[in-house]
Structure formats: C-alpha cells, structure tokens
C-alpha cells in the first residue's frame, strides 16, 4: 500500500515537469515555421520554457486534484493501462474544447495533458 502511494506521489511530482521540454519544442517548431534568425529561434525556445515554468503553477494543482485521484481509482479497479490513462487525461481538455474555438493553443494544451498522462504512467510503471 505505502509502496504504491510512494510511486503515485513520485509520478505526480515528476510528470508535470514534462511541460518544460514539450513547450520548448512547440516554440521551437513555431520558430522554424516563421524562421527569421537563429537568435530569435533560440529566444523563442527560451520563452517557451519560461511559459512552461509559469504554467507549472496550474499543472501541479491539477495533477494533485484530478490526476492523482484518477490514477488511484484506476489502480484500484485494475484499469491502470496506457489507453485508459490517456483517454482520461485528455477528457477534461476535450470537453473544454467542445465549448471553445479550436486553435493552436488548444492543440498545445491537448499535447501537454497527453504528455503528462504518458509520463505519469511511465514513471509509475518503471519505479520499483
């Protein structure tokens, strides 16, 4: 019991950190798409990582309010499998996007929650 709780807490603490490289990559892609110079490309990646650091203030509470209870429930029901975790991680953002316009920011948000769900599942399964 305590081993599973420890694994869940470690996964909940580490998985939101995936936001930093994912947003850095998104801003890198946007910089390549609108390439003007190498310095603007590098500053765009730095800006993406700094936006990611600011968004951690949102993703950590959401991970502990939504992600951790869902993962504990899925483990109790023996449904903690990758497809189920990914579907339940994207569900709130998908429902939110039904009532708003779909744009690039919504797509990035979908990518962020999917990467957080995948990272959480991988960390939990790789810990002993």
**Residues 1-52 pLDDT 10s:** 567 889 999 999 999 999 999 988 888 888 787 777 788 778 888 888 888 8
Spatial distance between the Cα atoms of 80 and 70, rounded to a whole number of angstroms = 9
pLDDT tens per residue across span 46-79: 888 888 898 999 999 999 999 999 999 999 999 9
Supply the pLDDT for residue 35: 73
- Domains held by the chain: number: 1
CB 55 within 8 A of CB 75: no
Domain that holds residue 114: 2-126
């Amino acid at each position: 019991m305590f081993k599973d709780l420890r694994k869940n807490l470690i996964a909940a603490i580490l998985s939101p950190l995936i936001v930093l490289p994912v947003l850095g990559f998104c801003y890198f892609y946007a910089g390549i798409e609108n390439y003007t110079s190498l310095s603007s490309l590098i500053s765009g990646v730095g800006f993406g990582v700094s936006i990611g650091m600011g968004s951690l203030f949102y993703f950590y509470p959401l991970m502990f309010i939504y992600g951790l209870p869902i993962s504990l429930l899925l483990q109790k029901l023996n449904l903690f499998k990758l497809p189920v975790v990914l579907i339940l991680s994207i569900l709130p953002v998908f429902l939110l996007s039904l009532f708003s316009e779909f744009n690039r920011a919504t797509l990035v948000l979908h990518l962020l929650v999917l990467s957080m769900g995948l990272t959480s599942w991988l960390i939990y399964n790789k810990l002993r």
